[in-house]
Structure 1
Amino acid sequence: MVVPPRERRTTAGWWAIAFHIVAFILISISMFTTYWLQAEKKAYGTAMDRIGLWTQCFRSLTVQEDVYRTTFFVGCRWLFDPFTTGYDEVQAMMQTSFFVTVQVFYTFCFTLALVGTALTGILVLCPGEDFERSVLKLAYIDLFVSWFFGFIAVIVFGAMGDNRDWMPHWDHNHLSWSFALAVVGVVAEFVAAVLYWVEYRIQKRKESYRQNHGVFTLEGQTKS
């Protein structure tokens, strides 16, 4: 009996690849967009417009630098902007412990999702069976860890992002679509991790079956 290499990957494996691609796209979009928290469009006089992990946009944020000088910030700026006078006050306001936690954990989530994308690319190239099982194992471990970091990030931001102790005019702010994409992306990452684990278990069972029954593949004889 001969088993063509392309038939080794099951439906679970193809779905794992599809879910991870979707997850990585959503996680990447949410990582670099500025709509995690947004002010109501009809709420006039609010200081904030929208907030991302790395860029903030303000309608008119007032910073009292000293008794003689007041600065107004309008428009979008990178959080770590070193050139805008007085922006260190905004940075201090933004860099609360919960927001730094979200930034760090979601960055880990994104980085590991990127590693998972490289592993997915290797799997699509269909390497040898032994190597493929090793990559599958690395992939599901990587994606489970990525999911864990992303899960912590979205839970913390969902609980703290629109509370009254952070951004001004909190009662006119709401979680927006970048955060929604992050949540969906993290969920898809978990599904992909589970499917990669299922695919790994299936391939392990197939290998055991081939060894016990002397099944051949197009890549050579089984090690029986």
Structure 2
Amino acid sequence: MVVPPRERRTTAGWWAIGFNVLAFVFIAIAMFTTYWLQAENKAYGTDMDRIGLWTQCFRSFTVDKDVYRERFFVGCRWLFDPFTTGYEDVREMLQTPFFVTVQVFFTFCFTLSLIGAALTGILVLCPGEDFERSVLKIAYIDLFISWVFGFLAVIIFGVMGDNRDWMPHWDHNHLSWSFGLAVVGVVAEFVAAVLFWVEYRIQKRKESYRQSHGVFTLEGTKA
């Protein structure tokens, strides 16, 4: 009896692939968009417009060390903008320990999620059976680690991002859709990791069954 490669994968495996793709898309969008924290549209006089991990947008922002309020920052700028005079003061104010921690953790989450997406591509191409089990094992370990980093990042930002000690006019700021996508992406990543683990266990049991019943794969070898 011969087992075609695509028939080896169970429903759990296909759902794992779907959730992994969904998680990567949401995490990637959250990584590079500017709506983690946003000021109310109808709130007049607020300094901040919206904040992302790497780009910030201001309505009329000045730092506390500018005692005489001589410089106001308007519009969107990359956090490490080298061309705007005085923006290093804004960067110093923004990069509090909690925000740097969120940046680092979510960057790890995104990088590992990118690796997970690449592993999903390998699985879709239906490699050899032994190699496929190895990919499944690497995939669920990778996604579990990525989920831990992502979970810590969204929890820390959820608690501290709207804190009155960080952005001015904190009472008019709220967590926005980029943060929401990050949360959904991290949850989807956990589901994908669990499903990849389930699929790996199923394939291991199938391997044991085939070894005891003499079932062969398309590669022409006994599994």
SS of the counterpart of 2:83?
coil
Displacement of 1:213 after TM fit?
1.1
State the distance in 2 between where 1:5 and 1:51 align.
46
Which residue is equivalent to 1:87? 87
Identical positions, percent: 83
State the distance in 1 between where 2:123 and 2:66 align.
59
Displacement of 1:70 after TM fit?
1.4
SS of the counterpart of 1:196?
helix
State the distance in 2 between where 1:120 and 1:221 align.
25
Task: Say if 1:47 and 1:3 are closer, same or farther in 2 by CA, change over 3 A.
Answer: same
State the distance in 2 between where 1:151 and 1:127 align.
31
Give me the TM-score of the superposition, normalised by structure 1.
Answer: 0.97
Which residue is equivalent to 2:193? 193
State the distance in 2 between where 1:219 and 1:50 align.
55
CA contact (8 A) 1:65 1:71 kept: no
Displacement of 1:17 after TM fit?
0.4
In structure 1, runs of 5+ residues without a counterpart are none
Q: Which moved more, 1:55-64 or 1:135-144?
A: 55-64
SS of the counterpart of 1:63?
coil
CA contact (8 A) 1:65 1:86 kept: no
Give 1:130's aligned amino acid: D
Give 2:20's aligned amino acid: H
Which residue is equivalent to 2:205? 205
Displacement of 1:173 after TM fit?
0.2
- Count of paired positions: 223
Which residue is equivalent to 1:142? 142
State the distance in 2 between where 1:141 and 1:84 align.
42
Which residue is equivalent to 1:19? 19
SS of the counterpart of 1:60?
strand
Cα distance per residue 1:107-132 (max 9 Å; x no partner): 00000000011111111110100000
Displacement of 1:83 after TM fit?
1.4
Which residue is equivalent to 2:159? 159
Which residue is equivalent to 2:124? 124
Give 1:98's aligned amino acid: F
Give me the TM-score of the superposition, normalised by structure 2.
Answer: 0.97
> What is the aligned-residue RMSD (CA, Å)?
1.2
Which residue is equivalent to 2:54? 54
Cα distance per residue 1:60-94 (max 9 Å; x no partner): 01236555661000000001111111111111110
CA contact (8 A) 1:55 1:79 kept: yes
Cα distance per residue 1:13-51 (max 9 Å; x no partner): 000000000000000000000000000000000000000
Which residue is equivalent to 1:41? 41
Displacement of 1:221 after TM fit?
3.0
Matched, 1:74 2:71: no
Give 2:169's aligned amino acid: H
State the distance in 2 between where 1:33 and 1:25 align.
12
CA contact (8 A) 1:216 1:222 kept: yes
State the distance in 2 between where 1:152 and 1:54 align.
18
In structure 2, runs of 5+ residues without a counterpart are none
SS of the counterpart of 2:151?
helix
